Homo-oligomer: A and B are copies of this chain.
Amino acid sequence: MSERRPGEIPEATVARLAVYLRVLTGLVDASTVTVSSEELATIAGVNSAKLRKDLSYLGSIGTRGVGYDVTVLREKIASSLGLTQRRTCVLVGIGNLGHALAGYSGFSSRGFTFVGYFDADPARVGEPIVDSRIRDIAELELVVKSHGVSIGVIATPAEAAQTVCERLVDAGVTSILNFAPSVLTVPDNVDVRKVDLAAEMQILSFHEHRKSRGLGNGLVESVG
């Protein structure tokens, strides 16, 4: 029944492709030529069948009896993720977290170029940041439109997030990464991913709670 159109990659797979890509980059640096699904899966921390199925969505890349050519596979994944072209981004909200994000070298090295850092606080505007300066949020639309920015990163307080989000979307941004602890409402054509630090901690707290509850009685699963 479910005949997936070629090029239609499941969401869960996309998330893992990014991990495989990183692992493969490491292998390239180590001058590894070929890798089997078993090896790659072990390093990436997933099941090898899952890995093969993930890669199969990109076409038939491997060689049976041998494995995958590391550089070929890396290129294929990169192109599937649309990483062959640099993407322009803006960062809004230059507090503690915003500064950290601006300083994170992982973005630039992976093809993401930040063309503007914005804050609403007049006291911060003009401060140097990375190789640039913090701009007034009033210039947001101008910069987004002139650079054709496609990804907006929100690191503002929760109260400001939705407003900032709407301004980004209206200016033409179609993907948003949200660090503010707030639920964003966007049109259908816009993608949002959220990173909720407090929620992550609370999820861990839940598991801690669960584990400590299980200690007394015999309910725990076998400890390896």
Binding site for B on A (CB under 8 A): 5-7, 9, 14-15, 17-19, 21-23, 43-45, 59, 80-83, 87, 89, 96-97, 99-101, 103-104, 106-107, 110-112, 150-151, 174-177, 181, 183-185, 187-189, 191, 193, 195-213, 220-221, 223-224
Contacts and interface: CB of A to CB of B under 8 A. Distances in A.
B175 A208 contact: yes
Given A19-B183, A183-B44, A204 B208 contact: no
Work out how many copies of this chain go into the complex: 2
Contact of A200 (B87, B97, B195, B204): B195
Nearest to A199: B18
A175 to B, nearest CB: 4
A181 B82 CA distance: 20
A209 B189 CA distance: 13
A205 B81 contact: yes
B175 A200 contact: no
Nearest to A103: B96
Nearest to A221: B7
Contacts of A87: 205, 208
Nearest to A184: B45
A167 to B, nearest CB: 18
Contact of A205 (B45, B83, B201): B83
A174 B211 contact: yes
15 contacts: A5-B220, A22-B199, A59-B223, A82-B205, A97-B100, A100-B100, A104-B197, A106-B198, A110-B201, A151-B205, A175-B204, A175-B208, A177-B201, A177-B204, A191-B207
